[in-house]
């Protein structure tokens, strides 16, 4: 029995910890990965990737905004990221008169580059293992809350020590569910300007039809520039700032890719849950996600109807639509991938082996014997509340006007006891926020969506979890939700910017009047009703069950590490810098179907000829194609590459990540995963999981030949050989 068990453990471990799987901490590459990477063709050292003693690749990779990755590609602070990462900023500069979404934007010199409110890029300075320091004084504590407080105290002290006397920021995050802790020290730049973006018909070619799909033909990139003060230090926006001089920038390869080439992705993957049990995956994939998909179906359908009929609304809601549809389609892909790979069954088989391993030893049995059964029970307990939590968040709380009024109320309350001068400043902030909100707001979409979401919640959730706003609808409107929402929006004093300006003109001298109007708003009353539901019936049990689940995972993961002492185990992604490596390769999505590893401009034209709206392209791109005016960016046979796929393990947050070849040169920008492979957040299967990359040669071709911004190419260090 022990021999059989050992063989099964080795087999399953080798499958689940394949070398091409993983999001590895750069600090630990020398210990765990570099020899394997070099065997696969990597020609640099671990120090070339991550070093605190000299410049390294990590110094060219940034957090872009708050949820993407970017890379520096010139000594003038030029930055690449995805088009969809820069989309909100491109949209903020757009109007019907200057439609940068439709037509693209290109600054032909630095004076034309556009500043962006609220944007930031973040450089990693160093990583430090602080596990011992964070857990100091915790082990002897019998009280869990006391232990948690001690951890928070230790973290606060470590962060203060790391940031005192400098301009750095620091963040400490748990790994392996709190079995380890690492500190990340950052330098943040807040003057980041838009340099260039292709039109949406290039940057989002294929739109939602192709999103999360392969083959792909999307030029998903945008160009920004980082600015600093005259000492090359971070500074708020100023016309006097100058382009940032980076410690490191990535050379750009024109040599192209071939199947089997080594690839590496550096960046900030958002969230993975590879340690989830079969019961967890079953709850999300078979129960939670299908309901969320249905809700977003309705929201997207309403938006689409209005966007197709009005260019102004199309621009207003472009970023919102894309944000909502992204997860909507991803969830569908996860369901597809989990079912295709029988991931739940594989997890169950691994859990059986885990139980056998635990049962072999009495000390292990005592320590870990009930962990899987307890997790199973907790997920059963969670199911009741997750539907309410999801539906409230995905339906009721998505109302735009409700959230705006709630925000106004919070800002006013925060300043109630402050000086008149402070209140005047607050009033200016309220007006600025209102102008920004109403620039991209349509009350008809919001009203119709709210009616649909109120109806969906009522039809899908048990009556015991109805917020009391449904009582009001029943009593005053005989349960007619449409009649109620029509009344709410017709009577609101916050329905448009002109109305809000009238309300704000007397602020702060008559703030009580403004508070009174807010309190009379039906949508504000609805928000309070939903908040009461959360706080009274949902939040505490939902939070408490998840806390118990996390405690059990800490124990379970510790056991898995003990069980796999000879194996490398990477931690879940948590939006900290990671390195993933693999190779350029196609895959077989279905029986007798093979997808090649790269696409070309030929494929764009083929799709365009179908006449489908999502495959519209600019006339100039068509002209360049028929003229074969590709410059130095096509190969010797005239093949103009667009995208390729590789087996790097990526996740949300890796959008915009540099894809780097064996020599440390930029060969593309990561922007997506294949649809079947989106389930890699739960379960990675090398046979079908692929990251999708826009080939850097297509990026340069669009910048140079399409946009005529060749001066940007001149800034870069181009390399022609592998």
In tens, the pLDDT along 521-553 reads 999 999 999 999 989 899 999 999 999 999 999
* Contact predicate 524/405, CB 8 Å: yes
Confidence of residue 167 (pLDDT cuts 50, 70, 90): very high
Q: Which SS3 state, helix, strand or coil, does residue 607 take? A: helix
Which pLDDT score is estimated for 566? Answer: 73
Which pLDDT score is estimated for 16? Answer: 44
pLDDT digits (tens, 9 = 90+) for 698-721: 999 999 999 999 999 999 999 997
pLDDT digits (tens, 9 = 90+) for 685-696: 999 999 999 999
Read off the pLDDT of each residue in 67-82 and give the average, rounded to a whole number.
Answer: 98
Q: What is the mean pLDDT of the chain?
A: 93
Which pLDDT score is estimated for 3? Answer: 37
Which pLDDT score is estimated for 10? Answer: 38
* Contact predicate 562/621, CB 8 Å: no
Which pLDDT score is estimated for 141? Answer: 67
- pLDDT tops 80 at residue 498: yes
- pLDDT tops 60 at residue 17: no
- pLDDT tops 70 at residue 12: no
Exposed/middle/buried for residue 628 (C-beta within 10 Å: 0-12, 13-18, 19+): exposed
Bond prior to 508 in cis (omega within 30° of 0): yes
Pairing verdict, β 262-267 and 691-695:
unpaired
pLDDT digits (tens, 9 = 90+) for 616-626: 999 999 999 99
Read off the pLDDT of each residue in 591-601 and give the average, rounded to a whole number.
Answer: 95
Read off the pLDDT of each residue in 318-324 and give the average, rounded to a whole number.
Answer: 90
3-class DSSP string for 642-707: EEEEECCCCCCCCCCCEEECCCCCEEEEEEEECHHHHHHHCCCCCCCCCEEEEEHHHHHHHHHHHC
Number of other residues whose CB lies within 10 A of the CB of residue 309:
9
Which pLDDT score is estimated for 426? Answer: 86
- pLDDT tops 50 at residue 15: no
Question: Residue 481 has which token pair?
Answer: 């939700």
pLDDT digits (tens, 9 = 90+) for 675-688: 999 999 999 999 99
Phi, psi at residue 75, to the nearest 5°? -75, 0
- pLDDT tops 50 at residue 584: yes
Catalytic residues: 84, 220, 655
3-class DSSP string for 288-306: HHHHHHHHHHHHHHHHHHH
Read off the pLDDT of each residue in 333-347 and give the average, rounded to a whole number.
Answer: 93
- pLDDT tops 50 at residue 5: no
Which pLDDT score is estimated for 267? Answer: 98
- pLDDT tops 60 at residue 41: yes
Read off the pLDDT of each residue in 196-221 and give the average, rounded to a whole number.
Answer: 95
- pLDDT tops 80 at residue 101: yes
Which pLDDT score is estimated for 512? Answer: 86
Read off the pLDDT of each residue in 206-227 and give the average, rounded to a whole number.
Answer: 95
pLDDT digits (tens, 9 = 90+) for 117-146: 999 999 999 999 999 999 999 876 667 788
Which secondary-structure segment (H or E) carries 219? none
- pLDDT tops 80 at residue 485: yes
Which pLDDT score is estimated for 20? Answer: 63
Specify the range with the lowest mean pLDDT, choosing from 87-96, 159-168, 386-395, 560-569. 560-569
Classify residue 475 by its DSSP letter: H
Read off the pLDDT of each residue in 386-409 and give the average, rounded to a whole number.
Answer: 94
List CB contacts of 11: < 8 A, sequence separation 6 or more.
none
- pLDDT tops 60 at residue 477: yes
Read off the pLDDT of each residue in 463-473 and give the average, rounded to a whole number.
Answer: 95
If you write DSSP's letter for every residue of 537-565 in order, what string do you get?
IIHHHHHHHHHHHHHHHHHHHHHHHHHTT
Q: What structural domains and CATH numbers belong to the chain?
A: 1-120+190-271+572-722 (2.40.10.120), 279-332+373-556 (no CATH)
- pLDDT tops 70 at residue 19: no
Closest listed residue to residue 722, CA positions, set 648, 641, 662: 662
Question: Residue 692 has which token pair?
Answer: 């999708």
Confidence of residue 7 (pLDDT cuts 50, 70, 90): very low
Which pLDDT score is estimated for 503? Answer: 87
232 conformational bin, left if phi > 0, alpha if psi -120 to 50, beta if neither: left
**Prediction pTM value:** 0.87
Read off the pLDDT of each residue in 389-397 and give the average, rounded to a whole number.
Answer: 92
Which pLDDT score is estimated for 215? Answer: 97
The number of CA neighbours under 13 Å toward the Cβ of 615 is: 16
Confidence of residue 590 (pLDDT cuts 50, 70, 90): confident
Strand partners, 115: 193
């Amino acid at each position: 029995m022990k021999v059989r068990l050992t063989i099964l453990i080795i087999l399953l471990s080798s499958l689940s910890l394949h070398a091409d799987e993983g999001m590895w901490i750069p600090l630990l590459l020398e210990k765990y990965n570099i020899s394997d990477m070099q065997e696969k063709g990597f020609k640099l050292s671990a120090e070339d990737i991550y070093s605190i003693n000299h410049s390294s690749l990590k110094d060219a990779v940034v957090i872009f905004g708050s949820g993407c990755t970017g890379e520096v590609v010139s000594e003038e602070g030029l930055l690449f990221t995805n088009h969809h990462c820069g989309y909100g900023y491109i949209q903020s500069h757009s109007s019907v008169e200057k439609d940068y979404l439709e037509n693209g934007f290109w600054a032909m010199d630095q004076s034309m580059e556009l500043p962006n409110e609220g944007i930031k890029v973040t450089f990693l300075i160093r990583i430090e293992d602080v596990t011992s320091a964070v857990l100091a004084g915790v082990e002897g504590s019998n009280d869990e809350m006391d232990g948690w407080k001690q951890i928070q105290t230790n973290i606060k002290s470590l962060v203060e020590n790391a940031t005192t006397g400098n301009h750095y920021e620091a963040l400490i995050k748990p790994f392996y569910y709190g079995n380890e802790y690492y500190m990340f020290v950052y330098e943040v730049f807040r003057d980041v300007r838009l340099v260039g973006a292709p039109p949406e018909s290039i940057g989002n070619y294929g739109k939602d039809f192709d999103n999360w799909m392969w083959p792909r033909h999307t030029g998903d990139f945008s160009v920004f520039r980082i600015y600093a003060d005259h000492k090359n230090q971070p500074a708020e926006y100023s016309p006097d700032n100058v382009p940032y001089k980076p410690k490191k920038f990535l050379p750009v390869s024109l040599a192209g890719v071939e199947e089997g080439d080594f690839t590496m992705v550096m960046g900030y993957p958002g969230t993975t849950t590879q340690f989830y049990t079969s019961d967890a995956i079953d709850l999300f994939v078979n129960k939670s996600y299908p309901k969320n998909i249905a809700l977003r179906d309705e929201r997207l359908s309403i938006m689409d109807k209005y966007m197709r009929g009005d260019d102004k609304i199309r621009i207003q809601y472009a970023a919102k639509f894309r944000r909502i549809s992204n997860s909507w389609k991803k969830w569908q892909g996860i369901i597809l991938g989990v079912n295709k790979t029988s991931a739940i069954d594989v997890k169950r088989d691994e859990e059986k082996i885990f139980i056998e391993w635990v049962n072999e030893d009495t000390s292990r049995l005592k320590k870990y014997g009930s962990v899987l059964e307890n997790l199973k029970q907790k997920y059963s307990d969670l199911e009741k509340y997750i539907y309410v939590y999801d539906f409230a968040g995905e339906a009721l709380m998505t109302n735009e006007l409700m959230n705006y009024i709630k925000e106004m109320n919070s800002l006013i309350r925060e300043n109630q006891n402050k000086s008149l001068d402070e209140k005047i400043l607050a009033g200016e902030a309220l007006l600025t926020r209102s102008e920004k909100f109403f620039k991209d707001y349509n009350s008809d979409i919001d009203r119709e969506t709210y009616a649909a979401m109120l109806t969906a919640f009522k039809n899908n959730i048990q009556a015991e979890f109805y917020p009391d706003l449904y009582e009001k609808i029943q009593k005053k409107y005989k349960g007619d939700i449409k009649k109620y929402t029509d009344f709410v929006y017709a009577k609101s004093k916050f329905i448009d910017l002109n109305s809000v300006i009238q309300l704000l003109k007397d602020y702060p001298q008559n703030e009580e009047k403004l508070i009174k109007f807010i309190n009379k708003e039906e949508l504000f009353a609805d928000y309070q009703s939903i908040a009461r539901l959360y706080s009274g019936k949902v939040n505490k049990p939902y939070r408490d069950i998840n806390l118990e689940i996390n405690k059990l995972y800490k124990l379970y993961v510790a056991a898995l590490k003990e069980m796999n002492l000879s194996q490398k185990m990477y931690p879940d992604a948590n939006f900290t810098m990671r390195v993933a490596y693999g190779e350029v390769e196609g895959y077989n999505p279905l029986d007798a179907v093979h997808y090649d590893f790269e696409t070309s401009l030929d494929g764009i034209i083929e799709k365009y000829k179908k006449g489908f709206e999502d495959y519209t392209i600019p006339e100039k791109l068509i002209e360049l194609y028929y003229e074969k005016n590709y410059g130095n960016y096509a190969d010797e046979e005239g093949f103009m590459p667009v995208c390729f796929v590789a087996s790097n393990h990526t996740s949300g947050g890796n959008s915009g990540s540099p894809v780097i070849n064996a020599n440390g040169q930029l060969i593309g920008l990561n922007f997506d995963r294949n649809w079947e492979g989106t389930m890699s957040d739960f379960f990675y299967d090398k046979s079908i999981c692929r990251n999708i990359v826009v080939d850097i040669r297509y990026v340069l071709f669009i910048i140079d030949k399409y946009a005529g911004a060749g001066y940007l190419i001149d800034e870069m260090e181009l390399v022609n050989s592998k």
